[in-house]
Amino acid sequence: MKSAERRKEIARLLEGSGEPLKGAELASRFEVSRQVIVQDLALLRAEGAALVATPQGYLAVQPDQTAGLMKTVATRHNDFPSMEEELLILIEEGARVLNVIVEHPLYGEITGSLMLATKRDVHHFMEKMRESGGEPLASLTGGVHLHRIQVPDERSWRKILTRLRERDYLAAEE
């Protein structure tokens, strides 16, 4: 299969899947290396495809996933249990956690795509974080970070802020 055909098929697979697909799975399916898949996805995004890399795999952003209000919240925490609690608060109040952003003194803004929408997503993300031995991006900034989230309405947004304030997770209120 030629590379252009493979990219077209990858885009079709991602757009037709409601779940993220892992790079290793795509590599196996097309009998290429994972690095070839990474390059294919980069080219597809450069061509305008709405594809994101998440901790769960690659995902096509569906039009219905852009409904609702887009908000940014500045939060802080310093350990895995509070990270998990913070994410669960967002999810429980109806938010989709799109990413995490930190402001690094040397590199500037660093963004990690999350695309978390369910408790299961959060638990899976936390499991992968613990297994990897990696540190969250917020460890670069003393725990302070931003989340870009999608909420259904202003009521949900206010509830999120209230709950985060109650748990002392809002960075703006230090």
60 neighbors 70 (Cβ within 8 angstroms):
no
| 112 within 8 A of 100, measured Cβ to Cβ | yes
Closest CA to 168 of 82, 110, 106: 82
pLDDT at 67 > cutoff 90 = no
Identify the band that residue 1 occupies on the pLDDT scale cut at 50, 70 and 90: confident
Cα–Cα distance, 104 to 95 (Å, whole number) = 26
For each of the domains in the chain, give its residue range(s) and CATH number, in order of start: 3-60 (1.10.10.10), 67-173 (3.30.1340.20)
Residue pair 101/110 in contact by the 8 Å Cβ criterion: yes
pTM metric for this prediction:
0.72
Query: Tokens 């898949």, residue?
Result: 37
| Joined tokens for residue 74 | 């500045």
pLDDT computed for residue 62 by the predictor: 65
Structure confidence by residue, pLDDT tens digits, 4-54: 899 999 999 998 887 889 999 999 999 999 889 988 988 888 787 888 887
82 pLDDT more than 50: yes
